[in-house]
Every structure is written in C-alpha cells, then in structure tokens.
Amino acid sequence: MAAPMIPPAATDDFLHRHGWGGARVTPLAGDASFRRYFRVADGARRAVLMDAPPPHEDPRPFIAMAQWLVAQGLSAPMILARDLDAGLLLIEDFGDDRLREALDAAPERENAVYAAATDLLVHLHTATPLGGLRVHGLDQWLGEVSLFTDWYCPALGLSVDIAGWDRAWRDLLTPVAEDDLPRVTVLRDYHAENIMLLPERPGVAGLGLLDFQDALLGHPAYDLVSVLEDARRDVTPAVEAAMLARYVAATSLDARFTRAYWALAAQRNTRILGVFTRLWQRDGKPGYKAFQPRMWGLLERDLAQPGLEPLADWFAANVPIEARGAAWLAGGELAP
C-alpha cells in the first residue's frame, strides 16, 4: 500500500540537528517508489525533505548523481543535510514551477520549453558519464518488457504467445544494442513531472532536474523518448517530430538514432504499461490506472512506425482492441 504522507519519526531531530528546528513540514509528493517528499519552511527559507527509508531506498545514488549533474553545469538540487542511516536528505527547493503545470497553464510555450528540454539532453550527452552506472542495454530492455506479459496480460485475462513475444522484441532491439552510437548518461525518468522551470538561471541550467537516482549508462535515444512520449501529459506528434529533428541536427547522428528512437519508445511504453499495472495490483496505487489510455495511444503511435511491423503484428494477434486503452477508460471494468 502507498505510505501515508506523514513525516517520519526522525524528522524533528534531523531538522533540529541541521539548523532547521521548528520549521513547518508539509506533504509535497510521493512517487512510484518508497520515497516521499515534504516541503520544509522556516521563515523565508525553503527546502525539501526527502524520505528514502532503508532498506527499501538508498539515497547515496541520488547524492552522487546530483553532484555530478551540477558539475556538468546542470541544475540538480543542492544537498543541504543528510542522515544516511535514517534515509533522510534535506535538499534545495526548486519551487513550484513544474513543466507539466506550466504548459497546462500556457500551452503556447510548448515548443520553447521542449526545445530547452531537448537541448539539455544534447548537453548532457556530451559529458563523460559518472563511473559505476549500471548498463541499460539489450538484456535489461528484454527483461523490462516482460513486465507486460507478467502483469498486464494476466490483469486483462490474456493468454499470449510468449515465444513470439520474445522473438519479436529480440529482433527489434538487437540492432539497437549493436548500433555503435555513443552510450551516455540516461536519467531514465526525464519527464514533465520531474523537470522544474528555473527562468532565473541561464541556458540548460534553466531546467531543474529531479528523480535521477536511477540513472544508467545507456542509449542516447532513451531520455528523449521519456520526455516526448510522456505518460503524464500529451505531447503532440508535431512537437515530437520537431524535437527529434532538433536533437538529430544538433548531434549529427544518422538514421540509426531515429530507428533506435522508435524501437526504444515501444520498449519503454510497453514496460510502463506493465509497471503501472503492477503498481495498482501489487503496491496498492490505483491512481496509475488513469495513465494507461495515454500509454496505449503512445504505444500504438510507435507500432505504426516503419520497421516495427513484426511487433505490431504480435500485438494485433494477442492483444485485442478492447484490451487496450478502452479497457481503462471511465466506465470500463478496470477504470479507476
């Protein structure tokens, strides 16, 4: 079940020890993990308390990646205080101007904001990755899509062709794994709810990054997919195409990148369909069901791309239309 948004018992002592005694602590957000976030206010001072409870969470990867991102000229929260045994971090507060809500309020800014998000990835991908990152490659991609057959298909009562599933994915993703494009830092959860707008900061530092503790060493197309095929807000095909072209123009990458983009888009969106089903069924977080119709729209956009016909054929043969996005709409059996 989702943890209640009540500060952990060690909060008062932690804040007192680090000069924030008596500060007001209010819920800010939870996420798909065990992590929870609280805003800490002491007069004009603001900070964010991250609760990353051991043994479920380890805040050290967040600290290491935050410091590395700052060293690359990007905006990640400064670490103000830490208690690793308790799993508590006090970090810089980037405020409330989050990409998702900013564009909901001012959709005319979409091209400019997504151009900035694309340029940030161009900048990030020029940096030598932090040592020790786990590899995100063929074995991991194939393992991740199994979440669909392990969780989504049983939830919909589907009996599917597993051998054909494995064969279609391996045939699609092996050329991507072997394309010889540079491997880069993959933030993995680079999307509209993890990007803050910081207009007072210049250039690529004008976007504040959150939720990067699971960063990996992987393909340069992955994070571009993450931000342009976003589970949390609709990005039009026109904007997606423009930003894909912007990235390719800035990096001078060839058709291998575009092929990888659509293959990894299908991989990521398929994985997320399985993840969101698991979050509902196993972890007691039914709110994730609401994202499933959008995920199906994205996946079907991907499956329509040249080169993905064998995978599209598998879905056509094994997942009927009524077991896709429509199954999760209001009034459906699985609707939230």
- For 17, the 3-state DSSP assignment is helix
Q: What is the pLDDT of residue 30?
A: 59
**Domain-embedded: residue 336:** no
Q: Do 279 and 174 sit in the same domain of this protein?
A: yes
Contact 68, 129 (CB under 8 A): no
pLDDT, tens digit, 9 for 90 and up, residues 53-104 = 998 899 999 999 999 999 999 999 999 999 999 999 999 999 999 999 999 9
User: What range defines the domain where residue 123 resides?
Assistant: 99-328
**Domain-embedded: residue 84:** yes
In whole numbers, what is the pLDDT of the chain averaged over residues? 94
Q: Domain ends where: 62, 92, 122?
A: 92
Cβ neighbours of residue 262 closer than 8 Å, sequence gap 6 or more = 302, 305, 307, 308
Beta-strand relationship, 79-83 and 36-42: unpaired
Q: What is the pLDDT of residue 331?
A: 47
The single residue listed with the structure tokens 């509209």 is 192
Sign, Cα dihedral of 316, 318, 322, 324: negative
Q: Do 253 and 298 sit in the same domain of this protein?
A: yes
Which stretches of the chain drop beneath a pLDDT of 50? 1, 331-332, 336
**Domain-embedded: residue 293:** yes
Estimate the crossing angle of helix 255-281 against helix 221-228, to 10 degrees: 60
Closest CA to 197 of 121, 93, 98: 98
For the chain, what is the domain count?
2
Q: Do 136 and 220 sit in the same domain of this protein?
A: yes
CATH assignment of the domain containing 45 = 3.30.200.20
Q: Domain ends where: 65, 92, 119?
A: 92
Q: What is the pLDDT of residue 34?
A: 83
**Domain-embedded: residue 335:** no
pTM summary value:
0.93
Q: Domain ends where: 71, 92, 113?
A: 92
**Domain-embedded: residue 181:** yes
**Domain-embedded: residue 5:** no
What stretch of H or E contains 185? Answer: strand 184-186
Q: What is the pLDDT of residue 1?
A: 46
Tell me how crowded residue 130 is: count the other CB atoms within 10 A of its CB. 17
Q: What is the pLDDT of residue 336?
A: 44
pLDDT, tens digit, 9 for 90 and up, residues 198-233 = 999 999 999 999 999 999 999 999 999 999 999 999
Residue 64: HSE in the Cβ half-sphere, 13 Å Cα cutoff? 15
